[in-house]
């Protein structure tokens, strides 16, 4: 369904969207994550206007719904109008047993976007060599590898992320929601629209006569984000009309506080060593032990441990006063074990000691 020409839409000056793009200072060429929805369509158009000839669109076809090919055709036509080269990755994003469908699609999309960014404009063959992504290009472009990617997340996406974090009892990293810029895997990911409500982007597109495709799954109440969008956000708007601005301010406060905790963890890990020594950990207050251990485990395992895992580990460290005290606890997708006077993390079971 196209978004062009919705009746009664108030006109929004182009400067509202353009100012968000002008504030970006990305490296060029710039990759735009393009799904075909209103938000990413506005992002593609705004970036193409700002950096003509230096933008490449990155589209991931998940193949999860009948409308997937319609989205791809919309993206192809949009890019032809704006003379933007398009790279397409087709992936199998079906969830594995016990995996959330939303999480599987999200992770698959980010992996595919990273592959397409690094593809360097090769229109034939597989970007990764792993048989997971079929790389296609609508035009033979010569922009080469991309190191900066912009994403179309807007203010409501940010609030949904915060509400999900609250529902899971998340700490400051979760309450910080999505950063406006992050570096992962050698790529810089930018979100210039986090301060803008989605209606602003849609009205701006209408001023340019541009359309978009509405994802039919956005109305499916089986998905948690859709229930938040349909039920929770309207109630918040009715009770607290300025909630978008105040939630965004809270997310920024949480992000600043998390930066301070990350700095403190680095300082404490310099004191304990890495891997951390047990006696040095015991010299710290319990809350600083938890902060340092969380940072260490996130670094070595690639994911933050659960709160109950940290609590269990802290309890074991507190009573670890004899040479024979054993520590062997699950943490993330591996185990933390005691080896001599230090803690070590293993991705899987630790190796047995060699025979004497």
Chain segment 257-289, per-residue pLDDT in tens: 999 999 999 999 999 999 999 999 999 999 999
> Encoding tokens for residue 234?
């309207």
Residue predicted with more confidence, 40 or 96: 40
Chain segment 127-165, per-residue pLDDT in tens: 443 435 544 555 556 778 899 999 999 999 999 999 999
What is the structure's pLDDT at 161? Answer: 95
Chain segment 198-218, per-residue pLDDT in tens: 999 999 999 999 999 988 888
Residue predicted with more confidence, 196 or 132: 196
The closest alpha carbon to 193, from 175, 212, 210, 180, belongs to: 180
At residue 124, does pLDDT exceed 60? no
Secondary structure of the chain in HEC code, one letter for each residue: CCCCCCCCCCCCCHHHHHHHHHCCCCCCCEEEECCCCHHHHHHHHHHHHHCCCCEEEEEEECCCCCCHHHHHHHHHHHHHHCCCCEEEEECCCCCCCCCCHHHHHHHHHHHHHHHHHHCCCCCCCCCCCCCCCEEEECCCCCCCCCCEEECCCCHHHHHHHHHHHHHCCCCHHHHCCCCCEEEECCEEEECCCCCCCHHHHHHHHHHCCCCCCCCHHHHCCCCHHHHHHHHHHHHHHHHCCCHHHHHHHHHHHHHHHHHHHHHHHHHHHHHHCCCCEHHHHHCCCHHHHHHHHHHHHHHHHCCCCCHHHHHHHHHHHHCCCCCCCCCEEEECCEEEEEECCEEEEECCCCCCCCCC
Cα gap 117→120, rounded to integer Å? 7
What is the structure's pLDDT at 126? Answer: 47
Cα gap 34→42, rounded to integer Å? 9
Q: Is residue 94 very low, low, confident or very high in pLDDT (cuts 50, 70, 90)?
A: low
What is the structure's pLDDT at 95? Answer: 62
87-104 average pLDDT score = 72
Chain segment 220-254, per-residue pLDDT in tens: 888 889 999 999 999 999 999 999 989 999 999 99
What is the structure's pLDDT at 274? Answer: 94
What is the structure's pLDDT at 99? Answer: 60
**Mean pLDDT across the chain, nearest whole number?**
86
> Encoding tokens for residue 16?
């509202």
Q: Is residue 13 very low, low, confident or very high in pLDDT (cuts 50, 70, 90)?
A: low
Q: Is residue 2 very low, low, confident or very high in pLDDT (cuts 50, 70, 90)?
A: very low
308-329 average pLDDT score = 94
The sign of the dihedral angle between the CA atoms of 103, 109, 114, 115 is: positive
Cα gap 262→291, rounded to integer Å? 8
Residue carrying structure tokens 């922009």: 143
What is the structure's pLDDT at 217? Answer: 80
What is the structure's pLDDT at 65? Answer: 66
The closest alpha carbon to 159, from 186, 181, 178, belongs to: 178
Share above pLDDT 70 across residues of the chain, in percent, rounded to a whole number:
83
What is the structure's pLDDT at 280? Answer: 97
What is the structure's pLDDT at 98? Answer: 59
- For the ranges 1-10, 61-70, 116-125, 133-142, the lowest mean pLDDT is seen at 1-10
Q: Is residue 16 very low, low, confident or very high in pLDDT (cuts 50, 70, 90)?
A: confident
What is the structure's pLDDT at 64? Answer: 60
What is the structure's pLDDT at 346? Answer: 93
What is the structure's pLDDT at 130? Answer: 41
| ∠ Cα 50 159 297 (to 5°) | 95
């Amino acid at each position: 369904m196209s978004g062009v020409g919705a009746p009664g839409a108030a006109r929004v000056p182009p400067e509202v969207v353009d100012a968000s793009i002008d504030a970006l200072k990305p490296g060029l060429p710039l990759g735009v994550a393009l799904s075909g929805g209103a938000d990413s369509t506005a992002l593609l158009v705004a970036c193409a206007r700002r950096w003509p000839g230096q933008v490449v669109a990155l589209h991931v076809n998940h193949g999860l719904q009948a409308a997937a090919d319609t989205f791809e055709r919309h993206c192809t036509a949009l890019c032809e109008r704006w003379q933007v080269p398009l790279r397409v990755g087709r992936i199998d994003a079906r969830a594995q047993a016990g995996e959330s469908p939303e999480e599987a699609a999200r992770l698959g999309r980010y992996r595919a976007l990273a592959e397409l960014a690094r593809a360097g404009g090769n229109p034939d063959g597989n970007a990764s060599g792993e048989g997971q992504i079929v790389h296609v290009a609508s035009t033979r472009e010569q922009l080469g590898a991309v190191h900066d990617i912009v994403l179309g997340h807007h203010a409501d996406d940010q609030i949904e992320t915060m509400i999900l974090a609250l529902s899971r009892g998340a700490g400051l990293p979760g309450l910080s929601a999505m950063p406006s810029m992050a570096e992962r895997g050698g790529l810089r990911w930018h979100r210039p629209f986090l301060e803008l409500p989605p209606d602003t982007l849609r009205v701006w597109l209408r001023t340019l006569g541009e359309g978009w495709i509405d994802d039919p799954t956005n109305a499916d109440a089986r998905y948690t984000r859709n229930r938040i969008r349909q039920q929770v956000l309207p109630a918040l708007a009715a009770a607290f009309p300025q909630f978008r601005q105040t939630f965004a301010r809270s997310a920024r406060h949480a992000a600043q506080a998390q930066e301070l905790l990350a700095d403190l963890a680095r300082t404490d890990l310099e004191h304990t060593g890495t891997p951390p020594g047990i006696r040095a950990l015991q010299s710290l207050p319990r809350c600083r032990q938890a902060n340092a251990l969380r940072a260490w485990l996130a670094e070595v395992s690639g994911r933050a441990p659960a709160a109950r895992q940290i609590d269990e580990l802290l309890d074991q460290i507190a009573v670890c006063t004899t040479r024979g005290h054993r520590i062997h606890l699950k943490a993330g997708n591996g185990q933390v074990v005691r080896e001599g006077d230090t803690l070590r993390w293993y991705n899987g079971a630790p190796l047995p000691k060699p025979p004497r």
